[in-house]
């Protein structure tokens, strides 16, 4: 017997409709490419998203066609999120930081029909246009008619203006109702090895993920929040904030392309931002700016951090000096992305300081809806004792089951688990801690050393701006940790003093064998340190020295 409750599909259009009807005056503030501030609200933007759906129809697009976006966080990108997905098309957000050849590859792989592009990316479009003629019929610039760039596109590829399309369309459009499992958006993983792979989110997965990130121990948003997603809308849907914030009726403050400490501080203060989300590098940049300028960010109550392990120093600085609680979360493109967040409990708040901060280092408990486990040799499940480390597996309604173009379920094992590629421990309180990417682990004499733990300690050194640990080949121990550091501006790093900072913080045999000082580290398109390049360059360093 089925329950007798309404069977309403979970569709993305419902979030913007809800916000417009119940929280119409909540704002969407965007810092545009030219640096000016644009203000609108949900009541005004919702009809525009329907107008956009109509405009896409008039371009001849049909259900599940892909519309690519190359854009910063702004109200127009938000309109695309809803106008495209809400009408049954697939919003394919493309990371402009990828190499042009990779961008062309994923546009062709996704067979995008239309590209919607911020003005900043006109040169990129010019460079790749010849390579995307197989699928792209039109390039739409997200601007007013008078701002249109003059580009020579190949035959069969129209150059269009977003605001002209909008002006020519009407709002007499009703959101269609369809199966909630329909694909809604597509995002390619950054691909540190091999070609990027597409993760295809559904309406259902997107709505459930956004609702779960609104739990109090995750991002805990409310109608009083003014949320500034620094995480880009071009990577994993800005951690779901374009959906989760409208759901609660909060305001969205879109920082555009200006993500340096000074720009963020100004926007936070001007727009009274209460919550923001970003990767550790962003918060480090903000922290450095605040400390050197003496400015404050007193409206901020919470900062969501993920994408890489959040160094303890960042949590302590924001909490002690700026009164902002740091929420340490973990996830990946394949998990929509948020799958865990470190929830404080009565017991954890009573821990003494060293234990308390060890607890805070962790990436936390699975959000309700997600299951996690760790496995060792032969796939045997390992105990949750905070010590045993193994491959981290996850499953749940917002975890990918396959990559775009592959059979549903093809990325899972026979019990439906997805192997994350991360190595982790889980403690008796359910708190998971990522110790490494599996391909980055250091196996010294058969024992694992956590590169993340060593990196987090290195960046506590006052002269170190960024640190990476790689496995270097060693004649006796197979692999030993090699520390590669970048000095802060105007500072000189004394390797011995960096090694001294590990004293008493780690087992002696974890101490890096050498410290290399370099001017900069290679990064992936999502801002992570590109360890493969480092290993290729430095893996024989200990043999040669």
List residues near ligand AMP by CB under 6 A: 189-190, 236, 306-309, 328, 330-333, 337, 363, 420-422, 434, 437, 526
Rg (CA), the chain: 24
Candidates 430, 405, 426, 402; CA nearest to 416 is 402
Beta bridge partners of 342: none
Q: Measured from the CB atom, is 20 or 236 closer to ligand AMP?
A: 236
333 membership: H or E segment, kind and range: none
- Tokens 């810092």 correspond to what residue? 31
Q: Measured from the CB atom, is 17 or 92 closer to ligand AMP?
A: 92
CA angle centred on 294, ends 302 and 268, rounded to 5°:
40
Quick one: residue 272, left, alpha or beta (phi over 0 = left, psi -120 to 50 = alpha)? left
Which token pair is 405? 């173009």
374 membership: H or E segment, kind and range: strand 371-375
Question: Least CB distance from residue 309 to ligand AMP, whole Å?
Answer: 4
d(CA 398, CA 419): 14
| Cα 168 to Cα 84, 103, 162, distances in angstroms | 17, 30, 10
d(CA 304, CA 277): 4
Instruction: Clarify whether 443 is annotated catalytic.
Output: yes
Q: Measured from the CB atom, is 189 or 244 closer to ligand AMP?
A: 189
Question: Least CB distance from residue 169 to ligand AMP, whole Å?
Answer: 34
Instruction: Clarify whether 334 is annotated catalytic.
Output: yes
Q: Measured from the CB atom, is 83 or 278 closer to ligand AMP?
A: 278
d(CA 328, CA 433): 11
**Catalytic pick among 111, 319, 375, 448:** 448
Q: Measured from the CB atom, is 131 or 523 closer to ligand AMP?
A: 523
| Cα 108 to Cα 117, 187, 456, 461, 495, distances in angstroms | 16, 14, 39, 45, 47
Instruction: Clarify whether 505 is annotated catalytic.
Output: no
E strand segments, 306-355 = 325-331, 338-341
Q: Measured from the CB atom, is 140 or 338 closer to ligand AMP?
A: 338
Question: Least CB distance from residue 349 to ligand AMP, whole Å?
Answer: 21
Q: Are 70 and 234 in contact (CB under 8 A)?
A: yes
Question: Least CB distance from residue 332 to ligand AMP, whole Å?
Answer: 3
**Catalytic pick among 271, 334, 455, 466:** 334
Coil, strand, or helix at residue 304? Answer: strand
Instruction: Clarify whether 189 is annotated catalytic.
Output: yes
Give the residue closest to ligand AMP by C-beta.
Answer: 332
Candidates 425, 432, 488, 431; CA nearest to 460 is 488
Which token pair is 8? 């309403």
Question: Least CB distance from residue 420 to ligand AMP, whole Å?
Answer: 5
Question: Least CB distance from residue 164 to ligand AMP, whole Å?
Answer: 35
**Catalytic pick among 25, 443, 447, 509:** 443
Q: Are 38 and 75 in contact (CB under 8 A)?
A: yes
Q: Measured from the CB atom, is 27 or 334 closer to ligand AMP?
A: 334
Candidates 299, 241, 231; CA nearest to 78 is 241
Question: Least CB distance from residue 190 to ligand AMP, whole Å?
Answer: 5
**Catalytic pick among 49, 93, 189, 335:** 189
Residues designated catalytic? 189, 334, 443, 448
């Amino acid at each position: 017997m089925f329950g007798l409750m309404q069977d309403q599909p979970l569709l993305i259009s419902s979030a913007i409709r809800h916000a417009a009807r119940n929280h119409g005056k909540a704002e969407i503030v965007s810092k545009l490419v030219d640096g000016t501030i644009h203000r609108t609200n949900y009541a005004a933007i919702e009809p525009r998203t329907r107008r956009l759906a109509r405009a896409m129809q008039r371009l001849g697009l049909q259900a599940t066609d892909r519309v690519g976006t190359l854009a910063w966080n702004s109200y127009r990108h938000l309109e695309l999120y809803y106008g495209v997905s809400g009408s049954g098309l697939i919003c394919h957000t493309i990371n402009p930081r990828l190499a042009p050849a990779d961008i062309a590859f994923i546009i062709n792989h996704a067979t995008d029909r239309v590209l919607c592009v911020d003005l900043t990316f006109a040169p990129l479009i010019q460079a790749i246009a010849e390579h995307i003629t197989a699928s792209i019929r039109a390039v739409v610039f997200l601007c007013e008619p008078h701002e249109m760039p003059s580009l020579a596109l190949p035959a069969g590829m129209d150059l269009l203006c977003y605001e002209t399309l909008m002006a020519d369309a009407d709002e007499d459009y009703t959101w269609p109702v369809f199966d909630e499992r329909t694909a809604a958006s597509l995002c390619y993983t950054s691909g540190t090895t091999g070609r990027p792979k597409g993760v295809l989110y559904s309406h259902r997965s997107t709505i459930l993920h956004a609702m779960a990130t609104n739990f109090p121990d995750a991002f805990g948003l409310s109608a009083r929040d003014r949320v500034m997603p620094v995480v880009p809308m071009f990577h994993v849907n800005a951690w779901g904030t374009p959906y989760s914030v409208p759901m609660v009726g909060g305001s969205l403050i879109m920082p555009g392309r200006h993500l340096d400490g000074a720009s963020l501080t100004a926007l936070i203060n001007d727009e009274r931002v209460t919550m923001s989300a970003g990767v550790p590098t962003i918060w480090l940049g903000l922290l450095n700016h605040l400390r050197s300028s003496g400015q404050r960010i007193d409206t901020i109550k919470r900062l969501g951090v993920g994408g890489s392990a959040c160094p303890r120093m960042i949590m302590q600085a924001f909490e002690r000096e700026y009164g902002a609680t740091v929420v340490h979360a973990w996830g990946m493109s394949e998990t929509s992305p948020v799958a865990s967040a470190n929830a404080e409990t009565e017991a954890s708040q009573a821990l003494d300081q060293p234990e308390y901060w060890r607890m805070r280092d962790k990436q936390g408990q699975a959000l309700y809806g997600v299951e996690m486990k760790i496995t060792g040799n032969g796939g045997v499940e390992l105990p949750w004792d905070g010590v045993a480390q193994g491959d981290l597996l996850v499953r749940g309604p917002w975890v990918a089951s396959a990559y775009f173009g592959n059979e549903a379920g093809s990325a899972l094992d026979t019990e439906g688990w997805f192997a994350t590629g991360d190595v982790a421990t889980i403690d008796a309180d359910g708190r998971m801690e990522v110790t490494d990417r599996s391909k980055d682990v250091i196996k010294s004499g058969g024992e694992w050393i956590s590169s993340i733990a060593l990196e987090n300690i290195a960046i506590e050194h006052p002269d170190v701006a960024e640190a990476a640990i790689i496995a270097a080949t060693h004649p006796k121990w197979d692999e030993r940790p090699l520390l590669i550091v970048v000095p802060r501006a105007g500072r000189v790093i004394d390797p011995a003093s960096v090694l001294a900072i590990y004293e008493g913080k780690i087992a002696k045999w974890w101490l890096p064998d050498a410290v290399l000082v370099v001017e900069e580290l290679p990064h992936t398109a999502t801002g992570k340190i590109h360890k493969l390049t480092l290993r290729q360059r430095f893996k024989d360093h200990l043999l040669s020295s």
